């Protein structure tokens, strides 16, 4: 999730679902990402989560239903002032009752009055018993709210507080944070664009338990995918085997292991894409023949492997792509950064290439930061920072050049 340079104003409305117990963690994580958080509790929510805890974590008073007519400096008419203060309004968890209230346009509760008065984007996270969620009345209310511009984030499937299993759980906090980052994203200039990203390493198996690979963590590619989604793009991610991919939200994901699998997935998705970003570190070679059983240690001190070349996926895309498709490559270099990257750009018919010196500290494989040179046929730009900041700057540069 991008961390913002200036603090952002999040209005969190908590309603009376048991999942309200997860909200203190959300508040604390929003605060650590430099958000100011105002919290409003419905009457039922007061029974689920302590205003004292929420007030301590947010560093502000918590607004209760009884405060509808109270007045405070800066918030003289609470429902109007809070509605205007917010850059984004979150309803989490949102009960069937509150959803019905909002859909009916009533303004009797502090939460529903804020909802009517705000012009900020609204994110609604329904969480309840599965049968309540599936009830036609709830479905209709949520559909109506969606038609009116509210973003409804579906609950997750799993065990519910009532003892049954079903779709009704409030999503994990990290997913809620992703949605908030999306809603607060200042630019939607990739709206309507389809972006295909490859990320991570490939594993080229020699036998059932050993493989050739590289230290790619997938973070750079995932940052490209996530920031494209923040900017409004539809995103598909083809992800090699990574250990801790983090939150994978807002995109369709295909998991692959080998370069050949990645090759197939990329070519299958190519007609769909407006832009292909090749951030994956693809193995150039695979075992000529994969052993059926684990290779045994032999008496000889050396072992020779016979390898076959993998297809160059980027070059294949470069050869096949339509005029209106954009192909962006990455170059992981250890020397002669610019020259090597430029020659890859020409050879693979890329529209631009992002060169990173993978030996420099805080750069390349595995790190959370990167320092890159974005090279076009007619110019260059340099960016450094967290991988998400770098990725966002790359999209900024591509869009300001009207390449996308
Ligand atoms: O994943 P992280 O830990 O965050 O690390 C990020 C990164 C270092 C992997 C990333 O920033 C990066 O540099 N990715 C490209 C790595 C790479 O394979 O570079 P290359 O110079 O070998 O290849 C050039 C381009 O051709 C790349 O776009 C690559 O995806 C593509 N390629 C390479 C070989 C191959 N067989 N098929 C390909 O498509």
Instruction: Give one DSSP letter per residue of 90-148, joined into a string.
Output: EEEEE-HHHHHHHHHT---SHHHHHHHH--S-EEEEE-S-HHHHHSHHHHHHHHHHHHT
* pLDDT for the residue 3: 62
> What would you measure as the largest C-alpha separation in the chain, in angstroms?
85
Neighbours of 272 (CB within 10 A): 11
Question: What per-residue confidence (pLDDT) applies to 150?
Answer: 98
Rg of the chain, C-alpha, whole Å: 25
pLDDT of the chain, 404 residues: tens digit per residue: 556 667 899 999 999 999 999 999 999 999 999 899 999 999 999 999 999 999 999 999 999 999 999 888 888 899 999 999 999 999 999 999 999 999 999 999 999 999 999 999 999 999 999 999 999 999 999 999 999 999 999 999 988 888 888 899 999 999 999 999 999 998 899 999 999 999 999 999 999 999 999 999 999 999 999 999 999 999 999 999 999 888 899 999 999 999 999 999 999 999 999 999 999 999 999 999 999 999 988 888 898 999 999 999 999 999 999 999 999 999 999 999 999 999 999 999 999 999 999 999 999 999 999 999 999 999 999 999 999 999 999 999 999 999 99
Task: Give the three-state DSSP class for 135.
Answer: coil
Answer yes or no: do 159 and 210 share one domain: no
Question: Token pair of 104, please?
Answer: 């009916």
The whole domain housing 110 covers 3-184
Of 213, 246, 278, the residue with max ligand 1 atoms within 8 A of its CB, to mutate for a pocket test, comes to 278
Ligand 1 residue neighbourhood (C-beta within 6 Å): 216-221, 259, 278-282, 284, 310, 312-314, 329-332, 344, 356, 358, 364-366
> Quick one: residue 66, left, alpha or beta (phi over 0 = left, psi -120 to 50 = alpha)?
alpha
Shared domain for 229 and 342, answered yes or no, is yes
Cα–ligand 1 centroid distance for 370 (angstroms): 14
Give the residue whose CA is nearest to atom 23 of ligand 1. 331
Query: To test the ligand 1 pocket, which listed residue (279, 316, 320, 334) has its Cβ within 8 A of the most ligand atoms?
Result: 279
| Known catalytic residue at 162 | yes
Q: Give the closest residue to 77 by CA, choosing from 102, 108, 52, 110.
A: 110
pLDDT at residue number 164: 84
Cα of 233 vs centre of ligand 1, distance in Å, is 22
- Domain identity same for 198 and 178: no
CA of 331 to the centre of ligand 1 (A): 6
Q: List, in order, residues 6 or more apart from 167 with CB less than 8 Å away.
A: 130, 133, 134, 154, 155, 156, 157
364 and 267 in one domain? Answer: yes
Whether 177 is covered by a domain: the verdict is: yes
Q: Which atom of ligand 1 is nearest to the CA of 387?
A: 4
- Phi and psi torsions of 120, nearest 5°: -80, 155
Examine the domain organization and report whether 230 and 263 are in the same domain: yes
Which atom number of ligand 1 is nearest to the Cα of residue 283?
Answer: 36
Residue 36's nearest CA partner among 15, 10, 73 is 10
Q: What is the pLDDT of residue 2?
A: 53
Indicate whether 86 and 174 sit together in one domain.
yes
Ligand 1: distance of its center to the CA of 241 in Å?
Answer: 14
For the CA of 310, the closest atom of ligand 1 is 36
Q: Which of 125, 151, 184 is the last residue of a domain?
A: 184
Q: Which two tokens stand for residue 165?
A: 């299993």
The last residue of one of the domains, among 162, 184, 206, is: 184
For ligand 1, atom 21, name the residue with the nearest CA: 331
Half-sphere exposure of 81 (CA within 13 A, CB side): 15
Contact status, residue 229 vs residue 182, Cβ threshold 8 Å = yes
Residue of 81, 162, 164, 275 with catalytic role = 162
Same-domain check for residues 141 and 205: no
Assigned domain for 198 exists: yes
For residues 178 and 231, membership in a common domain is answered with no
H or E stretch covering 269: helix 259-269
Domain total for the chain? 2
Asked if residue 100 and residue 57 are part of one domain, the reply reads: yes
**Nearest-10 Cα torsion for 57, 58, 59, 62:** -110
Find the 347 Cα to ligand 1 centroid distance in Å.
15
Same-domain pairing of 66 and 150: yes
């Amino acid at each position: 999730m991008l961390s913002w340079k200036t603090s952002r104003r999040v209005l969190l409305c908590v309603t009376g679902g048991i999942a309200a117990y997860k909200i203190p963690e959300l508040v604390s994580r929003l605060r650590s990402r430099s958000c100011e958080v105002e919290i409003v509790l419905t009457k039922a929510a007061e029974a689920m989560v302590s205003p004292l805890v929420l007030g301590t974590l947010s560093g502000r008073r918590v607004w209760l239903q009884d405060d509808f007519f109270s007045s405070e400096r800066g918030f003289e008419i609470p429902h109007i002032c809070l509605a205007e203060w917010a850059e984004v309004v979150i309803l989490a968890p949102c009960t069937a009752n509150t959803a019905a209230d909002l859909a009916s346009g009533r303004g009797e509760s502090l939460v529903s009055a804020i909802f009517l008065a705000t012009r900020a984007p609204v994110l609604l996270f329904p969480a309840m018993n599965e049968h309540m969620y599936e009830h036609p009345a709830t479905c209709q209310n949520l559909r109506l709210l969606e038609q009116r511009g509210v973003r409804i984030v579906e609950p997750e499937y799993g065990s519910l507080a009532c003892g049954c299993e079903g779709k009704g759980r409030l999503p994990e906090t990290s997913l809620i944070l992703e949605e908030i980052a999306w809603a607060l994203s200042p630019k939607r200039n990739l709206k309507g664009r389809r972006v295909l990203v490859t990320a991570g390493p490939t594993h080229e198996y020699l036998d059932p338990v050993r493989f050739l690979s590289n230290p790619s963590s997938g973070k750079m590619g995932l940052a490209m995918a996530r920031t494209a989604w923040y900017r409004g793009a539809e995103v598909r991610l083809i992800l090699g085997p990574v250990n801790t991919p983090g939150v994978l939200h807002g995109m369709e994901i295909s998991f692959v292991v080998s370069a050949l699998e990645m090759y197939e997935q990329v070519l299958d998705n190519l007609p769909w894409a407006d832009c292909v970003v090749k951030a994956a570190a693809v193995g150039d070679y695979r075992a000529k023949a994969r052993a059926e059983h684990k290779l045994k240690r032999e008496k000889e001190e050396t072992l020779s492997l016979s390898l076959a070349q993998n297809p160059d996926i980027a070059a294949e895309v470069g050869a096949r792509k339509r005029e209106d498709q954009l192909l962006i490559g990455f170059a992981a270099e250890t020397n002669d950064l610019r020259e090597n990257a430029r020659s890859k750009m020409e050879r693979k018919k890329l529209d631009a290439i992002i060169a990173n010196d993978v030996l420099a500290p805080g750069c390349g494989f595995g790190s959370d930061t990167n320092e890159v040179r974005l090279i076009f046929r007619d110019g260059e730009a340099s960016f450094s920072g967290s991988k998400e900041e770098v990725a966002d700057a790359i999209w900024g540069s591509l869009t300001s050049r009207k390449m996308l």
